[in-house]
Amino acid sequence: KKLGIALVGLGSYSTYQLAPALQDTQHCYLAGIVTGTPAKEVSWAKKYNIPRKNIYNYQNFDSIADNKDIDVVYVVLPNSMHAEFSIRAARAGKHVICEKPMAINVQECDEIIKACRDAGVKLSMGYRLHSEPYTQQVKSYIEEGTFGQPLFVTAEAAYVSRGNPDQWRLDIKRSGGGALMNMGVYSIQSAIYGCGMNPVSVSAQEFSTRPEYFKETDETITAQFEFPNGTVGQIMTSHNASANRLYVSCSKGWMELQPANNYGPLRGKTSSGPISFPHESQQKLQMDDFSRHILEGAPNLAPGEMGKRDMIIVQAIYASIAAGGKKQKLDLGTMGLV
């Protein structure tokens, strides 16, 4: 059986990444859409051969509960809408994929996790890199200790934002934050899988050079993590610079991905030579992995707890900045590590 996925929110990520990837997936397919734009109902139905009964808008969305074609709802809306639509999907009895960042605060993450648990449905984050071979290779080098103990990790995820000043990513109410909520989540993720542990503290700094454009949201943030065995981490995220990298210095060598978090192909090297894998759509791999979790009990590579853990770290980074860079303790244990 192939699972039927409904995409909620047909913006650029759904249009240019997810819908095309769903044409190649083996364990799921694009069965339905949820959109607030009537013109997209027509154009998507035609392009992807979606039956009228599998098309919803934001008002009639809850009646998706009665639709047997839809097994999974994939929430691809602005960040402030993730919680509402993930919870409504769970209550409709559908498995949920929630885009990153999971929500705009930790309380909303808890509400999503509870709604999915109460409804007995599976929940995954849209963290495509956990299904991506270069990232998986780094994780297994760390797990196996191939290069010894990680001593220092640095992770950067940033791009230059220009254009429409009214876009939701610059609006604090709809985004919940700027670079940190958007690309910062990738640097947090990289730092954690680059050393295989959760941090125990964080200190952070914010920089602003174009306040006339970034009126409400953070432009550039750097942060330093302490990890349990003394490993040191440094992350950078920005909407005003280009950077895309993970570097891990270990006791017996090093590894680097650059780019580390774009749609690929990624590139990797280590102190023993290059890493190389054939390129495949990360989104295809991600949606197939989650489908295999639902269908066959394969591991959930990016569970809700991972999204919540990252939001706890995001909030600690904002708290550190608000406190003039003061170190914030984190008590995460093994939360979200897979």
Question: What residues line the site for ligand NAD (CB under 6 A)?
Answer: 9-14, 36-37, 76-79, 99-100, 126, 128, 168, 174, 182
Instruction: Count CB atoms within 10 A of the CB of residue 243.
Output: 17
CB of 35 to ligand NAD, least distance (A): 7
DSSP at 26: S
CB of 324 to ligand NAD, least distance (A): 29
Q: Which of helix, strand or coil describes residue 224? A: strand
CB of 183 to ligand NAD, least distance (A): 9
Six-digit token string for 127? 């963290």
- Of 197 and 266, the one with the shorter C-beta distance to ligand NAD is 266
Task: Please give the Cα distance from 74 to 72 (Å, whole number).
Answer: 6
Query: Which residues touch 114 (CB under 8 Å, ≥6 apart)?
Result: none
Strands 28-34 and 55-56: parallel
- Residue with the shortest CB distance to ligand NAD: 11
CB of 186 to ligand NAD, least distance (A): 8
| Kind plus residue range of the DSSP H or E element containing 236 | strand 232-238
- Of 33 and 202, the one with the shorter C-beta distance to ligand NAD is 33
Buried b (16+ CB within 10 A) or exposed e, 189-224: bbbbbbbbbbbeebbbebeeeeeebbeebbbbbbbb
- Of 198 and 282, the one with the shorter C-beta distance to ligand NAD is 282
CB of 61 to ligand NAD, least distance (A): 12
As a 3-state breakdown, the chain gives helix, strand, coil percent values, each rounded to 5, of: 40, 25, 35
* Active site residues per annotation: 100, 186
- Of 78 and 133, the one with the shorter C-beta distance to ligand NAD is 78
- CA neighbor of 255 nearest in space, from 270, 245, 242, 240: 270
Six-digit token string for 235? 């992350």
